[in-house]
């Protein structure tokens, strides 16, 4: 893993671990990274954008904006640096349980890769265990790992489902994500409040209509928040 600034390393660690978990990084030091050619290029590019739109990149309010943008994008894309093995950290347990497990109302924030504008909403994740379950906190962390990347909602939905299927080999997985996209609200058709819903179903969730209906029934019960 590349050396990361402290503020990005802390986000990565937060996604990977629960409070009190050992990360194996206690002996490492992660001071603020020295200025690199990449960071200089990013900040110069932001200055060029400010100039191109007719702004004065040297005025007081914008003088440190290139630096702030540089830091912000590292934070918002910290998911690229998350180690999936550290995230799971052995939290897969043999349990004699075969009924559906659903975690819903998982808030997330991501960046649309087409315009670098935010999209945000909630995810619901369900699976049918095959003699193994995953620690409850790991499911929101999986969503967070993939959300903190440049994304499209369809791929985000599929990646969460594929990861869970690969990690615990359940009978099936279902993922539903509902989100609002600022690229629709702020530009183009400018339709604020429009919501996009995507789903991914694998294994028994795809083969069995009854299983899908049970999953959707769980999502309709009560408030997702």
**What amino acid positions are annotated as catalytic residues?**
112-115, 153, 181, 183
Look at residue 101 and give its three-state secondary structure: strand
Query: Would you tell me how many other CB atoms lie within 10 Å of the CB of residue 53?
Result: 7
Query: Would you tell me how many other CB atoms lie within 10 Å of the CB of residue 162?
Result: 15
Kindly list the distances between the CA atom of residue 207 and the CA atoms of 146, 201, 216, in Å, as whole numbers in the listed order: 26, 9, 15
In this structure, is the dihedral angle defined by the CA atoms of residues 52, 56, 61 and 64, taken in order, positive or negative?
A: positive
Packing angle of the helix pair 65-76, 37-52 (nearest 10 deg): 120
Q: How far apart are CA 68 and CA 43, in angstroms?
A: 9
Q: How far apart are CA 25 and CA 3, in angstroms?
A: 12
Closest CA to 171 of 124, 126, 213: 126
Buried b (16+ CB within 10 A) or exposed e, 108-143: bebbbeeeeebbebbbbbbbbbeeebbeeebbbbbb
Look up residue 33 and give its DSSP letter.
Answer: P
């Amino acid at each position: 893993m590349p050396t990361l600034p402290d503020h990005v390393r802390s986000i990565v660690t937060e996604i990977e671990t629960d409070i009190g978990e050992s990360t194996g990084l206690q002996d490492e030091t992660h001071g603020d990274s020295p200025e690199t050619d990449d960071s200089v290029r990013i900040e110069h590019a932001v200055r060029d954008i400010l100039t191109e739109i007719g702004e004065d990149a040297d005025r007081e309010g914008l003088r440190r904006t290139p630096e702030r943008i540089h830091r912000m994008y590292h934070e918002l894309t910290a998911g690229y640096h998350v180690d999936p093995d550290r995230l799971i950290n052995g939290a897969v347990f043999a349990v004699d349980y075969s009924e559906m497990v659903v975690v819903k109302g998982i808030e997330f924030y991501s960046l649309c890769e087409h315009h670098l504008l935010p999209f945000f909403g909630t995810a619901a994740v369900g699976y049918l265990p095959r003699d193994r379950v995953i620690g409850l906190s790991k499911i929101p962390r999986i969503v967070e790992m993939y959300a903190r990347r440049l994304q499209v909602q369809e791929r985000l939905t599929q990646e969460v489902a594929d990861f869970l299927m690969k990690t615990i080999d359940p009978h099936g997985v279902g993922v539903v994500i509902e989100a609002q996209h600022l690229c629709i609200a702020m530009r183009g058709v400018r339709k604020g409040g429009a919501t996009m819903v995507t789903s991914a179903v694998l294994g028994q969730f795809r083969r069995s209509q009854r299983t899908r209906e049970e999953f959707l029934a769980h999502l309709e019960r009560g408030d997702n928040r």
